[in-house]
Amino acid sequence: MIASVPAAILSAALAAVPAAVLAQGYAGLGAEADGDFAVPQQGAALAFPGDHLPHPDYRIEWWYLTAALSAADGTRYGVQWTLFRSALRPGSDTPGLPGDTRQVWMGHAAVTTPDAHLFDERLARGGVGQAGVTEPFEAWIDDWTMRSTAPADADPLDAITLTARGNRFAYDLALEATGPLVLHGDAGFSVKSPAGQASYYYSQPFYDVSGTLTLPEGDIEVTGSGWLDREWSSQPLSGDQEGWDWFSLSFESGAKLMGFGLRESDGGHFTSATWIAPDGTETAYGDGALRLTPGATAEVAGRTIPVEWRVELPDEGLDVTTTPLNPQAWMGTTFSYWEGPIAISGSHDGHGYLEMTGYE
């Protein structure tokens, strides 16, 4: 009982983190922005590198990296590295321990193999220096870091190193972008519901990845592709949305697809997609263009979860099926959700990542 207490307190503290919040039945919490928090506005232009840094006046924000990897022997792996920022009140923290904490940070890291899913979690308050995102670009919580290694004249996210360490795993990866940043929705203004809830959302989907995974059985050299999502908001979701299914797909053609469906309590999906051409040209599709159909399910952490999906985007001639590398890719963290690498087959072949929240 007592062991679950910190989790319980944090589930409240970080109630504004959307993916998990939805999953935990806090759907309503993020629906209306507190009067004190800033709200995303359509038409506001994103500016880099400044927007790589935190936006403390918004309630929630994340730096979310997933990578589909393989070893020399062909074994496939997946890696996740996430830093969440959740504001108790808007504004930056005063350095030190002044006693009015505004920002709470949470880190999730995971390695997925065909037969294991290893993950860990970190929490920190703002101000003391235990976690944060600063210039020159570094996002960190404890010893988990995402640090820019790009030359001064390039975008800081063009080249990064990524480290994390749990009780049973660790990784140390180098990532280099082979394409530009991609803005979703209307130049980065991504609508999440018919009622107009929205976030700022951009990605760097063009990472080549190489590095080392440390697993209980030893070190493994891996290579593959990575995808970074950046998103911040104060009122991302509407009250009747139960959870979401989010896909990042990299096809052998060099094209990519970001697509998500927000499951509504009446059973429908509010979908949104961005088709990314090999050169980085993006095409945004609004609600209804993308079709998501759940397929085979699996028993995961006591829940029934659709681990196979049919993903269709007729406008781009896309009709594929996704299958998980490991159906048991459950993040049993403070907020629990499914997050793992998938293989794509059908009209297009390739690899990607799937996140599913809100399955009770």
Partner 1 sequence: MTRTALMALLSHWRRHKLQLATLLTGLALATALWSGVQAINAEARRSYDRAAATLGQDVLDRLTAPEGVTLDQFVALRRAGWQVSPVIEGRIRAGGTPLRILGIDPLTAPPQAGLTALAGDNDIIGDFLSTPGLLLVAPETAAQIGDADLPPTRIAPDVAPGTAVTDLATARRLLERQRLSYLLVASEQPLGLPPLSDIAELDRRTPDESTDLSELTDSFHLNLTAFGLLSFAVGLFIVQSAIGLAFEQRRQSFRTLRALGLSLRRLMVLLTAELAVFALLAGIAGLALGYGIAAALLPGVAGTLRGLYGASVAGTLAFDPAWAAAGLGITLAGTALAGAQALWRVARMPLLAPAQPRAWAMASARTLTAQAGGAVALLLTSAVLVWVGEGLIAAFACLGALLLGAALALPPLLIGALRIARPLARGPVGEWLLADGRQQVPALSLALMALLLALSANVGVGTMVGSFRTTFTAWLDQRLAAELYVTAPDEAAAARVRAAGDELADAVVPIWSVDVDLRGRPGSVYGIADDPLYRDNWPILEALPEVWDRVAAGTGAIVNEQLFRGTDMTLGAPLRMAEGWEVPVVGVYSDYGNPAPQAMIGSDALSRRYPDVPRLRFAVRTDPDQAAEVAAQLRERARLPDQGVVNQSEVKALSLRVFEQTFLVTGALNVLTLGVAGIAVLTSLLTLSGLRLPQLAPLWALGMRPRTLAALEVARTCLLALLTWALSLPVGLALAWVLLAKVNVEAFGWRLPMHLFPAQWIGLAGAALLAAGLACLWPAIRLTRLPPSRLLRVFAHDR
In the complex, what is the shortest distance from the CB of residue 236 to partner 1, in angstroms, rounded to a whole number?
A: 16
Nearest distance from residue 306's CB to partner 1, in Å?
A: 29
- Quick one: which of 261, 239, 232, 231 has its CA closest to 195? 239
Contact positions vs partner 1 (CB under 8 A): 2-3, 5-6, 8-13, 15-16, 29, 88-89, 96-101, 104, 120, 123-125, 128-130, 140, 142-143, 165-170, 214
Cα separation, 171 vs 220, in Å, equals 9
CA dist., res. 13 & res. 340, Å (int) = 26
Nearer to partner 1, 41 or 167 (CB): 167
In the complex with partner 1, the residue whose CB is nearer, 133 or 249, is: 133
Least spacing, CB of residue 89 vs partner 1, in Å: 7
Nearer to partner 1 (CB atom), residue 114 or residue 129: 129
- Residue 212 or residue 265: which is nearer to partner 1 going by CB? 212
Q: How far is the CB of 138 from partner 1 (least distance, A)?
A: 11
**What count of Cα atoms within 13 Å lies in the side-chain half-sphere of residue 47?**
3
Distance in Å, CB of 134 to partner 1, minimum? 13
Of 116 and 128, CB closest to partner 1 = 128
At 106, list the tokens. Answer: 């949470």
Q: Say which residues have a Cβ less than 8 Å from residue 204's Cβ, sequence separation at least 6.
A: 157, 177, 181, 182, 227, 228
How far apart are CB 176 and partner 1 at their closest, in Å?
25
Which residue, 103 or 274, has its beta carbon nearer to partner 1? 103
Strand partners, 223: 70, 210
Instruction: Tell me if 247 sits within 8 A of 208, measured CB to CB.
Output: no
3-state helix, strand, coil in the chain (%, to 5): 10, 50, 40
Q: Which two tokens stand for residue 340?
A: 């793992």
- Read off the tokens for 35: 């009067």
Q: What is the 3-state secondary structure (H, E, C) of 71-116?
A: ECCCCEEEEEEEEEEEECCCCCCCCCCCCCCCEEEEEEEEEEECCE
Between 130 and 323, name the residue whose CB sits nearer to partner 1: 130
The nearest distance, CB 214 to partner 1, in angstroms, is 6
